[in-house]
Amino acid sequence: MDCLLSAGCSGDSGVIMAVLDTIKENNTFRRLYRSKKCYVYPQIVVYAAKNRLGEFRYGITTSKKIGNAVSRSRCRRVIRAALFEYADELSQCKKGYDVVIVARKKTAFLKSTQLVEPIGDSLRQAGIIDKKNV
């Protein structure tokens, strides 16, 4: 339980909506890069593969090609915000999948609302979320 999404930041009124685990091991990232499922968009690249854990995990990668540390951190925040639009579907997903989202140069200039559609399309193509949910 690494990432919590809560609504309302004032005191005790915050409601926890979903919990998504993150990928931390380098060998897991490398396994996903070698996987056959790769979905390329002008803004991001998404790699997906099944895991044996039975839960959804995600990882976000930003390289130095994106820019300085501030812009790389912003890219990670924007991608994470767009991914959490699908948090309810992902937390109820019965299948175990690992997903790595790689930022591209265009990602630094986008808002999270502009990344919701490419992330959703890639998750649907990979079969992680249902096509009729969103």
Would you list the domain boundaries of the chain? 22-125
Amino acid (1-letter code) at residue 7: A
Per-residue confidence (pLDDT) for residue 89, from 0 to 100 = 79
Strands (E), 24-84: 37-40, 44-50, 57-61
Residue 37 Ramachandran class (φ > 0 left, ψ -120 to 50 alpha, else beta)? beta
CATH, domain 22-125, list 3.30.230.10, 3.40.50.10480, 3.30.70.20, 3.90.1640.10: 3.30.230.10
Low pLDDT (below 70) residues in the chain: 1-19, 93-94, 132-134
